[in-house]
Amino acid sequence: MTIEGHVDGQLTINDLAFRSSIGPRSAADVFQLANAVGQWYIGFMVTLLNEAWIGSRVTAKGLTNQNGLTAEVSLLGNDGAITGEAAPNNCSMCVSFRTGAAGRSNRGRNYIPVLTNSQVSGNMIDSAWAADVVAAYAMLTFPASVDVLPGGWIWVVLSRFSGGVERTVGQFTEINNVLVSDLVVDSQRRRLPGRGR
């Protein structure tokens, strides 16, 4: 699942992965999941983003084979809600997804697309705003997820590689915790004008 937007003409992408706990799914099921994730993002994340962020789309693709089912939901018209000067494009906050198991294959993360200067003091991010972001993502973990996701979908970390070697079958591990490991501003250099897309 890919959530796309733009800041100052630069593409921002955050990926999330979900696994079906009830077997194979139809195209309608994949669309329903993409729509639910889009509605979650509009309702709980867009309100935390600077007005410089412009929503684009949510794209879902099944991974059972190379021609997996796809679905796309528009985010056009759903732009960031926080007014005020945006920090430079590269300034971000990393949100970490944990599964309770050790190792890089059992952790995930997203970099929040745009910070507002009023949320940053020096190199530090406002803790209350960070807590709101964590709370929004935590809605995708069980049991809160039953109110957000269609039945039978589980938010997971997807690992395609182990020790630099491609797995023959991807590993899916359920996410049960969301956190911010520190409040220091992170940098996503490819989001700077002229560096990314």
| C-alpha distances in Å from residue 171, one per residue of 1, 7, 107 | 16, 33, 12
**CA distance readout (Å), 61 to 17, 51, 109, 162, 178:** 10, 29, 19, 22, 24
Which tens digit of pLDDT belongs to each residue from 159-192?
878 788 888 777 899 999 999 999 999 988 766 6
pLDDT confidence of residue 104: 85
Q: Is there a domain that residue 196 lies in?
A: no
Residue 110 belongs to some domain of the structure? yes
Q: Is the pLDDT of residue 123 over 90?
A: yes
The domain tally of the chain equals 1
Q: Which domain holds residue 28?
A: 2-191
Q: Give the pTM.
A: 0.92
